[in-house]
Structure 1
């Protein structure tokens, strides 16, 4: 005696299998969508890709290279409509490669309301990102300024001497560190 297989039951089983696979794929895609930004940021910070600077701890040993100087240019921006003045205290600095240095950025809230902002940064040329090491920075930290309030924000950094041995980067004579301040989302919704 042979058992007959119901073609509709077999088709229904295949449809459930495809539906489970599609659900798993959709959930995995959703998860990757949420993870993409932090994973990309970690990748850039680890490699210096896209002009992302390297982060180092305050106890990192630095060794200045006598006679090897680098010009650092500081750039500052705010997104359109954000009522802040934001600028570097000094637009350029000449540093010894390997020596720690500090730049000061100043922000002032020009509005009549408290505004919270956060800054992102990049380094150009991109090849320099892997060698521009920040020890302390205000980036990715929310800064709330009351109406008319002004703050000074330090950036402690050094240019890693390894830049001198990289064939793609050793001819770099000027590095630009650029920051852009954005309003934090709840403040952007209030305007």
Structure 2
């Protein structure tokens, strides 16, 4: 009897029923649809190492090419500017000195002076007494290579501030050939130079003397009366006006006069 009970118990329900099979198939289908298999992604495309190196080299060449062009332009501009300044240095320096009295250079022309500056100052505005005259002496020199005799016609002139004066120099070409000369000048002491004005002079002008020729060279000048109001210059009572002659030639390119030191072919007359 116990064996019969056990046998009937195993036969009442099978291990796998049709309902279990349907449920298992449904679960398998659901799992497959919910998580599909991953698809492989396409590989990324980009420049290779050789392409990147080539692009970097092109950029580097373009940078250095642009920098070299800029350097070339700056160099050319600096060279042109230097040449221009060289040609303009002499006339600009002369104009600057003539207008400012720099380095003992007398001021040329009336320029900034009004007609009232040309009235002699008979009385000193500080003391009300008679103004003391200023002694102007003259000096002349010439280059050793220039066969000229150059000297002032007078030794000195006494002038009042604001009073005009006329002086002369003599130049004599003792050479056997025609020679062109040019003169530079200065005034001592330097502090009087801004007040020493030359209305007319032969400085920085071409002076061509024939062989054996002698000429008179005039200088028309005055000392500005404002000098009496300058504490550093109002006590100056002696002034030296100096001229120096050099041989000169005209530049064939720019037409300007320049010093001529090649006078070896010029012989002195006896």
TM-score after normalising by structure 1: 0.91
Distance across 1 between alignment mates of 2:203 and 2:248: 13
The structure with the larger Rg is 2
Q: Which residue, 61, 65, 69 being the options, matches 2:121?
A: 65
Distance across 2 between alignment mates of 1:109 and 1:60: 39
- Computed over aligned residues only, the root mean square deviation of the Cα atoms, in angstroms, reads 2.1
More relative contact order, 1 or 2 (CA 8 Å, 6+ apart): 1
Q: CA deviation at 1:144?
A: 1.6
Give yes or no for the alignment of 1:87 onto 2:151. yes
Q: Size of the alignment, in residue pairs?
A: 191
Q: CA deviation at 1:65?
A: 1.0
Q: Which residue, 72, 76, 80 being the options, matches 1:27?
A: 80
Distance across 1 between alignment mates of 2:242 and 2:114: 23
Flag the structure with higher strand content: 1
Aligned residue in 1 for 2:18: none
TM-score after normalising by structure 2: 0.66
| Deviation per residue, 1:33-77 (Å, 9 max, x gap) | 222222222221111111111122499630101133100010000
Aligned residue in 2 for 1:163: 227
Question: Runs of 5+ in structure 2 lacking a partner?
Answer: 1-45, 123-130, 251-259, 266-270
Give yes or no for the alignment of 1:119 onto 2:183. yes
| Deviation per residue, 1:143-169 (Å, 9 max, x gap) | 121222111111011111111111121
Mean Cα displacement is larger for which, 5-14 or 96-105? 5-14
Give yes or no for the alignment of 1:139 onto 2:192. no
Distance across 1 between alignment mates of 2:201 and 2:114: 15
Question: Runs of 5+ in structure 1 lacking a partner?
Answer: none
